[in-house]
Chains A and B, each alone.
With several copies, the nearest count.
Chain A
Amino acid sequence: MSSVEPNVGLARDEMAQRVAADIPDGAYVNLGIGIPELITKFVPEGREFIYHTENGLLGMGPSPEEGQGEPELINAGKRQVTALPGAAYFHHADSFAMIRGGHIDLCVLGALQVSEGGDLANWSTGAPDAIPAVGGAMDLVAGVKLVYVITQHCTKKGEPKLIESCTYPLTGTGVVNRIYTDLAVIDVTPEGFQVFELSPGVDFDYVQERTGAKLLDRSHSTDS
Chain B
Amino acid sequence: MIDKTVESLTVAVGGITDGATVMVGGFGEAGSPIELIHALIDHGAQGLTVINNNTGSGEVGLAALIKAGCVAKMICSYPRSMNSTVFPDLYRSGKIELELVPQGTLAERIRAGGAGIPGFYTPASVGTPLAQGKEQRTFDGTDYVLEHGLRADFALIKGKCADRYGNVVYNKTARNFSPLMATAAGTTVVQVAEIVPAGDMDPEVVITPGIFVQRIVLVPNPAHESDLVRKGVSYP
Q: Does B46 contact A (CB under 8 A)?
A: no
The residues of A that contact B79 with a CB separation of less than 8 Å are 131-133
Asked whether B104 lies within 8 Å of A88 as measured between CB atoms, the reply is no
Asked whether B163 lies within 8 Å of A133 as measured between CB atoms, the reply is no
Q: Does A99 contact B (CB under 8 A)?
A: yes
What residue in chain A is nearest B160 (Cβ atoms)?
A72
Asked whether B203 lies within 8 Å of A143 as measured between CB atoms, the reply is no
Please pick, from A88, A98, A119, the residue contacting B167 in the complex, using a CB distance under 8 A.
Answer: A88
Please pick, from A101, A119, A172, the residue contacting B183 in the complex, using a CB distance under 8 A.
Answer: A101
- Against A, the Cβ 8 Å flags (1 = close, 0 = not) of B37-52 are 0000000000000000
Q: Does B235 contact A (CB under 8 A)?
A: no
Asked whether B103 lies within 8 Å of A136 as measured between CB atoms, the reply is yes
The residues of B that contact A137 with a CB separation of less than 8 Å are 102
The residues of B that contact A170 with a CB separation of less than 8 Å are 127-129
Q: Does B61 contact A (CB under 8 A)?
A: no
- Against A, the Cβ 8 Å flags (1 = close, 0 = not) of B176-206 are 1111100110000000000000110101101
Please pick, from A73, A86, A92, A102, the residue contacting B172 in the complex, using a CB distance under 8 A.
Answer: A73
Asked whether B107 lies within 8 Å of A89 as measured between CB atoms, the reply is no
Chain A interface, number of residues (Cβ within 8 angstroms)? 59
Please pick, from A57, A139, A173, the residue contacting B103 in the complex, using a CB distance under 8 A.
Answer: A139
Q: Does B100 contact A (CB under 8 A)?
A: yes
What residue in chain A is nearest B226 (Cβ atoms)?
A71
Please pick, from B127, B164, B179, B203, the residue contacting A91 in the complex, using a CB distance under 8 A.
Answer: B179
Interface residues on B, range: 35 or more
Please pick, from B88, B127, B176, B203, the residue contacting A92 in the complex, using a CB distance under 8 A.
Answer: B176
The residues of A that contact B115 with a CB separation of less than 8 Å are 93, 96-97, 100-101
Please pick, from B80, B171, B201, the residue contacting A133 in the complex, using a CB distance under 8 A.
Answer: B80
What residue in chain A is nearest B31 (Cβ atoms)?
A72
The residues of B that contact A102 with a CB separation of less than 8 Å are 116
Docked complex Cα distance between A25 and B1 (Å): 8
Q: Does B5 contact A (CB under 8 A)?
A: no
The residues of A that contact B167 with a CB separation of less than 8 Å are 86, 88
Asked whether B175 lies within 8 Å of A169 as measured between CB atoms, the reply is no
Asked whether B204 lies within 8 Å of A89 as measured between CB atoms, the reply is yes
Asked whether A139 lies within 8 Å of B105 as measured between CB atoms, the reply is yes
Query: Measured between C-beta atoms, what is the minimum distance from A64 to chain B in Å?
Result: 12
Asked whether A100 lies within 8 Å of B173 as measured between CB atoms, the reply is no
Asked whether B116 lies within 8 Å of A101 as measured between CB atoms, the reply is yes
Asked whether B199 lies within 8 Å of A85 as measured between CB atoms, the reply is yes
Asked whether A135 lies within 8 Å of B77 as measured between CB atoms, the reply is yes
Docked complex Cα distance between A95 and B201 (Å): 19
Q: Does B29 contact A (CB under 8 A)?
A: yes
The residues of B that contact A113 with a CB separation of less than 8 Å are none
Asked whether B203 lies within 8 Å of A88 as measured between CB atoms, the reply is yes
- Against B, the Cβ 8 Å flags (1 = close, 0 = not) of A71-92 are 1111100100001011111111
Asked whether B78 lies within 8 Å of A134 as measured between CB atoms, the reply is yes
Please pick, from A91, A100, A132, the residue contacting B180 in the complex, using a CB distance under 8 A.
Answer: A91
Question: Contacts A55-B30, A59-B203, A101-B116 given: A93-B172 contact, CB under 8 Å?
Answer: no
Please give 6 more A-B residue pairs, beta carbons under 8 A apart, in addition to A74-B29, A92-B53, A92-B106: A57-B172, A58-B210, A71-B227, A95-B107, A131-B79, A137-B102
* A-B interface, 10 closest residue pairs, ranked by CB to CB distance from nearest: A85-B199, A96-B104, A139-B104, A100-B116, A97-B115, A92-B107, A173-B127, A88-B206, A136-B103, A78-B28
* A residues at B contact (CB < 8 Å): 25-26, 28, 48, 50, 52-59, 70-75, 78, 83, 85-104, 119, 129, 131-139, 142-143, 169-173
Sample 9 A-B pairs with CB under 8 A, ordered by A number.
Answer: A86-B165, A94-B209, A101-B113, A131-B92, A133-B79, A135-B78, A136-B103, A138-B130, A173-B126
* B residues at A contact (CB < 8 Å): 1-2, 27-31, 53, 77-80, 87-88, 91-92, 98, 100, 102-108, 110-111, 113-117, 122-130, 163-165, 167, 170-180, 183-184, 198-199, 201, 203-204, 206-207, 209-212, 224-227
